[in-house]
Amino acid sequence: MPRLIFLLLLLVPLPSWAEIYRWTDAGGQVHFGEQPQPGAERVEVKPQVVERDAATRDSQERLRKLFDAREQEQDAAAQKQAARNARRAEECSKLRQSMAELNHGGLYYSQDASGERIYYSDQQMDAARSRIASQLSANCS
């Protein structure tokens, strides 16, 4: 949006507030300047109004629409990236919590179809720690 405003300001003619003076030197040469000289007269300068034709107005409108569309695309991309970052942060938090629980110790188990507890061996616990550590290092650096 700031780029669009800047572009529009470049296209809009701004009034000139500087005063212009005209004087003739001893050699008969005419000079113009912003500082009054002895014998200088003030010259009124009217800003030139530029009328834009239909093709120029259409071109400017297409350019404005292009800038608006590009800005919307950038906003959508930023929102998607923020959502991905939030999901990754949540996943990393869960992985860290799982690692902390595994490192805390205790007996871990799963249940089979009949509801019997099947306790994890030390090798299974080490494999789980290794798997979580590799996921943490790959995704949560």
| Euclidean distance between CA atoms 45 and 68, whole angstroms | 37
* 17 token code pair: 């507030």
pTM for the whole structure: 0.49
Instruction: Compute the distance between CA of residue 133 and CA of residue 95 in angstroms, rounded to an integer.
Output: 8
Task: Give, for all 141 residues of the chain, the pLDDT tens digit.
Answer: 566 665 555 555 555 466 889 988 888 899 888 888 888 899 888 877 778 888 888 999 999 999 999 999 999 999 999 999 999 999 999 999 989 988 887 888 888 899 899 888 889 888 989 999 999 999 897
CB 17 within 8 A of CB 46: no
- Cβ(29)–Cβ(23) below 8 Å: no
Strand-pairing partners, residue 33, are 21
